[in-house]
A and B are shown apart, each in its own frame.
Chain A
Amino acid sequence: MKSIGEILLLRPSFIAAEGKRDFIPPIGSLLKNNSKPLRYLIVVDQFVESRIPGRTPAPYGLDYGDIESEQPQSTFLMRWMYQLVPVCELNGTKYEAPTGVPDIHTLLYWVEDAEFTEVLSSSSFMDFLFRIDETMLPQRNEVIMRLLRKFIVSVPQINRDKELLRILTRLSIIFRNDYSTLKQFIKSLEVKI
């Protein structure tokens, strides 16, 4: 299994991993570590920053495609990062609230195929998604929407309506007091694929 990043930033309430310049997992991707305890993390943001603290890139005035060949140092002085938020841990067959933060240098992997389906089918996983504190992470709902949409698309056509209904039903309970947000979810998930 090929890693798609490594956790390199651990600040209070802020975890980020470095990806590759030509590929950072999109927002809403579900990742995991490869050690105990097994943690599920969701990609909530992407950013690029200088490897040298305080250095800001200088303008070169070149066409974008020419920068790398003519000023190669300008790209290796930068790193391509993505922010992660732990969603839950798997303890046996039970999803539990995340305990502590992952270690620095933890390698990250995709959650794929059968595992992805299994995790997303769990209503407790859904609930953990919405425990992410929206005041700390204003884009939380958008992130979750993307994850759920990815899941819906992955479901075989014949089961899609059933899964969609299951998710929407859960959402309508979570957002029973916030209809406009619920409606956004509904609209974003009910896209005809």
Chain B
Amino acid sequence: MIGFLKSGSVTEGFAVRLLRDVSPESLKIGDFAVIEGRIYKFFGIIDDLRLLSSNEDVFFDPPETPLQKLALSGSIIYSEIQLSPYVMADPDGNLMSIKTVPEHFSSVRLAENRDIELVFKRGGKPFFIGTPLTMDEHIYVDLEKLSMRNNAIFGITGSGKTVLAKIVFSGLIRNEIASLLIFDMHNEYGRSSKNEEGRVEPSLKTFFPKNVKVFDVAHNPDADSIITIPYVDVDPEDIALTSEILHYSEKSEETALLVRRRKGKEWLKFLFSLQGKTDEELAEISESLGVNSASLSALIRHTTRLSELDFLQDTMEESSINQILNYLKSGISVVVQFSGKYKNSALVYFLVANIISRRIHGKHESMSDSELKRLRTVIVIEEAHKFLSTNLKERNIFGIIAREMRKFNVTLFIIDQRPSEIDPEVLSQVGTRFVLQMMDESDIDSVFQGVGGGSRLKKILRSLQARESLLFGFSVPMPVAMRVREFGEDFFKEMQLNSPHGDPNKDLYGE
């Protein structure tokens, strides 16, 4: 027991008076505590600690010896914690939201293994994701629920977003919850990646060789396939998302749509063929197309960079997009990587992500309910704010996916360090949030926008270090501050040995 309930309310949380011999330093913000009510157990998080005194005189003549200090503590000087309750359990272990308050003097203790299990290890597909900040117990997230909504990982650079994402994705793949489509900006989710110390660590393809396919826009020894996208598979809308990079105006967009109307699927090829034409020639062509010639030459100029992309090809061969969609459909996850000269190319990243995602959107919308039931797709984007910024609103496919695709079993998994730049409407559609270390006030504010008890969670967030995460939302019964589980040998073994498809021993014994 660490103390007893002194005061509080359902909405404001509880003040807990600490026992005299409990040092406030033995408790931390984010610790998971339990109030033993007469009937219910109340589970909460410590979100503040306070030093108090019943008599200010003591500060004019402070105690002089340790014994004196001890004698005064608990009466003249004392400490309290602020405890925010999140769920309560009835005697049968059923969890419910907080609907009542425990009595005065109810005893308060730190959570134990059985409490953490009661709250986090429930039905569905519990997956060990981390440990409470000051305990060794396991925190589980329900993967089923996770995959049913959009999710997000936020945190500053180096806070551990990618590693946490790898852990979550491994869970999703191993438990065959969903097919992932990962737009892997920094080539970290394929076969392996380098950690900060430069050590090479295995990644999804290594854990689940049969359940993960790696695609790349350029040559990459780890890739199963190189992406080719025929010109005919590119729509003007696919390019719109990259308009900023291409300096492509709204006018150009309209012009592109006009060209497509005239030229059909060959529009892009046609556009590229106009490069190097003289002004007179262009004027003539504009006239025949019925577009403004200045607009046409601007469009040609702005799309020149596209014609230089190797993976966009004038071919009638099957597009890699179909292959990708087929894999996803059969439960295989796809990692799209960007190697060679397209490493760090924002243009290529956005273009490819946009084209593929738009196709998925189109496909799913035309599927029957029974087809959709079997299929669950999670689209992962890093640097998500660039896909989801406020000024891209309507035409933005990722915004559409976030808002409307849940019913088609397609959800978005956002990884980002600048949540304040993400469209708040999209943020409001995020079901579960993993919030790692964050510094910027506007980012912190936006993460908690519209979250009940957000101001309390903010306090906890401020106390987090790298690799520690606040986890809250749809797939956990209550928010929890955790240390993300170690991404190391134990995890690697667990993934490979228990994987339904990647068990190397199975192959050895010829099963």
Interface residues of A (CB under 8 A from B): 161, 164-165, 168-169, 171-173, 176-180, 182-183, 186, 190
Pairwise interchain contact B76-A169, C-beta atoms closer than 8 A: no
- Residue contact A190 to B68, C-beta cutoff 8 Å: yes
Which A residues lie within 8 Å of B10 (CB)? none
CB of B157 to closest CB in A, whole Å: 51
Contact partner, A176, options B55, B65, B68, Cβ 8 Å: B55
Known: A179-B55, A190-B67. A173 touches B61 (CB 8 A): no
Q: Verify B71–A169 contact, CB threshold 8 A.
A: yes
Per the CB 8 Å criterion, the residue count for chain B at the interface is 16
Q: Which residue of B lies closest to A171 (CB)?
A: B71
Beta-carbon contact of A164 and B72 below 8 Å: no
Interface CB pairs A-B, < 8 A, 15: A161-B67, A165-B71, A168-B70, A169-B20, A169-B74, A169-B75, A172-B72, A172-B74, A176-B55, A176-B75, A176-B76, A178-B55, A179-B61, A180-B57, A186-B71
A172 to chain B, nearest CB (A): 4
Measured CA separation A110–B334 after assembly (Å): 92
Complex interface residues of chain B between 46 and 70 (CB less than 8 A to chain A): 54-55, 57-58, 61, 63, 65, 67-68, 70
What are the interface flags for B13-54 relative to A under an 8 Å C-beta threshold, 1 for contact and 0 otherwise?
000000010000000000000000000000000000000001
**Contact between chains at B68 and A168 (CB < 8 Å):** yes
B positions within 8 Å CB-CB of A? 20, 54-55, 57-58, 61, 63, 65, 67-68, 70-72, 74-76
Q: What residues of A have a CB within 8 angstroms of the CB of B72 in the complex?
A: 168, 172, 182
Give the residues in chain A near B58, CB-CB below 8 Å: 179
* Shortest Cβ gap from A165 to chain B (Å): 6
User: Smallest distance from the beta carbon of B459 to chain A beta carbons, Å?
Assistant: 30
Complex: how many Å from CA A180 to CA B76? Answer: 12
Q: Is the CB of A177 within 8 A of B55?
A: yes
CB distance from B63 to the nearest CB of A (A): 8
Quick check: B57 and A190 within 8 Å, CB to CB? no
Q: How many Å lie between the Cα of A176 and that of B76 in the bound state?
A: 5
The residue in B65, B71, B72 that gathers the most chain A C-beta atoms within 10 A of its C-beta is B71
Identity of the chain A residue whose Cβ is nearest the Cβ of B65 in the assembled complex: A190
Instruction: Report Cα–Cα, A178/B76, bound state, in Å.
Output: 10
Are A180's CB and B61's CB within 8 A?
A: yes
A123 CB to closest chain B CB, in angstroms?
A: 14
Question: Would you call B67 and A179 a contact (CB within 8 A)?
Answer: no
Partner of A168, one of B54, B57, B67: B67
A182:B76 contact, CB within 8 angstroms: yes
Q: How far is the CA of A186 from the CA of B72 in the complex (A)?
A: 10
Contacts of B55 in A (CB 8 A): 176-179
Q: Which residue of A lies closest to B56 (CB)?
A: A179
Q: How distant is the Cα of A168 from the Cα of B76 in the complex, in angstroms?
A: 12
- A114 to B226 alpha-carbon distance, docked (Å): 92
Query: Known: A177-B54, A180-B57. Contact between A172 and B67, CB under 8 A?
Result: no
Q: Which residues of A contact B54 (CB under 8 A)?
A: 176-177
Given A165-B70, A179-B57, output 8 extra A-B contacts at Cβ < 8 Å.
A164-B67, A165-B67, A168-B70, A169-B70, A171-B71, A173-B74, A180-B57, A186-B63
Q: Which 4 A-B pairs have CB atoms at the shortest separation, nearest pair first?
A: A168-B71, A179-B57, A172-B75, A173-B75
Residue of B nearest to A168 (CB): B71
Docked Cα-Cα span, A161 to B71, in Å, equals: 11
How long is the Cα–Cα vector from A177 to B57 in the complex, in angstroms? Answer: 9
User: How far is B74's CA from A169's CA once the two chains are assembled, in angstroms?
Assistant: 8
CA distance A190 to B66 in the complex (A): 12
Out of A173, A177, A178, A186, name the residue touching B68 (CB < 8 Å).
A186
* Most chain B CB within a 10 A radius of its CB, from A168, A179, A186: A179
The interface residues of chain A lying within 8 Å CB-to-CB of B67 are 161, 164-165, 168, 190
Specify the chain A residue showing the minimal Cβ separation from B70. A165
| Nearest CB of A to B323, in Å | 75
When distances are taken between beta carbons in the complex, the residues of chain B under 8 Å from A173 are 74-75
A179 to B55, CA, bound (A): 7
CB distance from A152 to the nearest CB of B (A): 12
Judge whether A183 and B61 touch: CB under 8 Å. yes
Q: How far is the CB of A188 from chain B (nearest CB, A)?
A: 13
Given the complex, which residues of B lie within 8 Å of A165, measured CB to CB?
A: 67, 70-71
A186 to B75, CA, bound (A): 14
- B375 to A: closest C-beta gap in Å: 67
How many whole Å from A185's CB to the nearest CB in chain B?
A: 10
Distance between Cα atoms of A161 and B54 in the complex (Å): 25
B contact residues around A182 at 8 Å (CB): 72, 76
- In whole Å, how far is A148's beta carbon from the nearest beta carbon of chain B? 13
A171 to B71, CA, bound (A): 8
Q: A179-B58, A180-B57, A186-B71 are known contacts. Are A172 and B65 too (CB-CB below 8 A)? A: no
Complex alpha-carbon distance, A161 and B70, angstroms: 11
Smallest Cβ-Cβ distance to B68: which chain A residue? A186
Interface residue from B57, B61, B71 paired with A172 (Cβ < 8 Å): B71
Bound complex: CA of A177 vs CA of B56, how far in Å? 9
